[in-house]
Chains A and B, each alone.
Chain A
């Protein structure tokens, strides 16, 4: 089986605009993501998680190495890779439904088809009745739902998510995580999800990729062997392998934060 996404010897260096220092964010990162896999990426802050995602999105060109999607080299943004950003990146001057339809509009999908798709996704994210609202009339959690729906409606093959639930409250986050899990199960999309929250990474991922501290490399890949059907927080946390996996990943991340090496 060939990988859906292949990262080959990825390295990225940039100049910090404030300190004018050269920063090596990623160095020699190798990673394969299978078709339909949900891969979560965790690591200490500043390890290049967001840089990695921006390179995958095609918004940043890597200094060295290559990103292949379906064997084709990524050279810029494309509709095959949808992105959900950490901040709410929906447009304030478009209503909920026009934001969700935006990707389809760009693809030239006829109006009637767009409307049908919008109805489906509005329902999926539970925002029925809010179609005509503007983003400033919605809560943070609702806005991020709209962003997720916009990306899903555009129907990309790969979804890239950059800490999408970091700025919503704890209750909403739990709901959104469970919803995303259901969506992943239903759509079988390849998803790469960056987070600094270890529990979230274990809850959502088929595999969890731990990055080393800067410059980021793959430190470990941890499989989560709990079926998607059992992934609601209630069932999931009562599964004995959840705690063990979480503690294992947490230990790996802590080693990178504290700089200890080789501690089992």
Chain B
């Protein structure tokens, strides 16, 4: 981000916060309906002091990181393998497309029956939600590698294994990066939803539980942290990863 952009954002944020504070002070509404920014800040201080917030953030982050590792270690290789053969890819395409669209949230009622009211259901929902876009996009990535590159390598005397290693996998990387980004974005939402429903900790649990006690400031704080964590993850981890490989090869125009 340029310096100018950062300044613009700071000014904008300050303006919105000021307007919000003004509205909270002027409007004839009870505090639990629209708490002022100071209340949210106080909630932050309180929850950090009690150690609740660091604990919940750690729990949520642990779950999404686990899903990310699973996506990389299982989802990407699986998608690559399925994409290698046109016939296998054509067979799995509608299946993967179907499961990608049925979000982990929609699976929650069934998972509750199968895996019970707890951690196992959360992990199943999140991992499932991350895995399918990752597999699907890795498969698409392999299929989208120009035939020309494959032919060029075959005429250099390359074995099928060599073609896979030197052409199909690097050629699929842009799509794999997209799949990881999409999968984790979906997964992050599914995680919050699952924590709301069956969690005993985590950010989703925090905001849902706060509603029972009319702790509106805590809800707003939780929402803010959910968003900030994602933006940070995307900006500091996913984008640099993409830029280190894909953008340098001129495959993605920025």
Q: Which residues of A contact B (CB under 8 A)?
A: 57-59, 76-79, 81-83, 85, 87, 89-93, 102-103, 106-107, 134-137, 150-151, 154
Contact = CB atoms under 8 A, between A and B. Distances in A.
A82 B153 CA distance: 10
Contacts of B153: 102, 106
Contacts of B171: 93
Given A89-B148, A91-B170, A134 B248 contact: yes
A92 to B, nearest CB: 5
Nearest to A135: B250
Contacts of B250: 92, 134-137
Contacts of B157: 77-79, 103, 106-107, 154
A89 B251 contact: no
B155 interface: yes
14 contacts: A59-B155, A76-B154, A77-B154, A78-B155, A79-B155, A79-B156, A89-B148, A91-B149, A102-B153, A102-B166, A106-B158, A106-B162, A150-B156, A154-B157
Nearest to B147: A59
A79 B162 CA distance: 14
Interface in B141-176: 148-149, 151-158, 162, 166-167, 170-171, 173
B249 interface: yes
A83 B148 contact: no
Q: Which of B151, B155, B162, B251 has the most CB of A within 10 A?
A: B155
Contacts of A90: 152
Contacts of A103: 156-157
Q: DSSP majority for the B interface?
A: helix
Nearest to A103: B156
Contacts of B149: 89, 91
Q: Which of A135, A136, A137 has the most CB of B within 10 A?
A: A136
Interface of B: 148-149, 151-158, 162, 166-167, 170-171, 173, 245, 248-251
Q: Which of B149, B152, B154, B171 has the most CB of A within 10 A?
A: B152
A163 to B, nearest CB: 13
Contact of A136 (B148, B151, B249): B249
B249 A85 contact: no
B155 A81 contact: yes
Nearest to A99: B152
A92 B251 contact: yes
A106 B154 CA distance: 10
A40 B253 CA distance: 39
B249 A59 contact: no
Contacts of A137: 250
Contacts of B170: 91, 93
Nearest to B152: A89
B162 A82 contact: no
Contacts of B167: 91
A82 B154 CA distance: 10
Contacts of A81: 155
B249 A134 contact: yes
A103 B157 CA distance: 7
Contacts of A154: 156-157
Contacts of B251: 92-93
A135 B245 CA distance: 14
A150 B155 CA distance: 11
A177 B12 CA distance: 60
A78 B148 CA distance: 16
A93 B249 contact: yes
A90 to B, nearest CB: 8
A85 B148 contact: yes
A93 B171 CA distance: 8
A79 B155 CA distance: 6
B244 to A, nearest CB: 12
B166 A59 contact: no
A107 B153 CA distance: 12
Contacts of A89: 148-149, 151-152
A83 B157 CA distance: 11
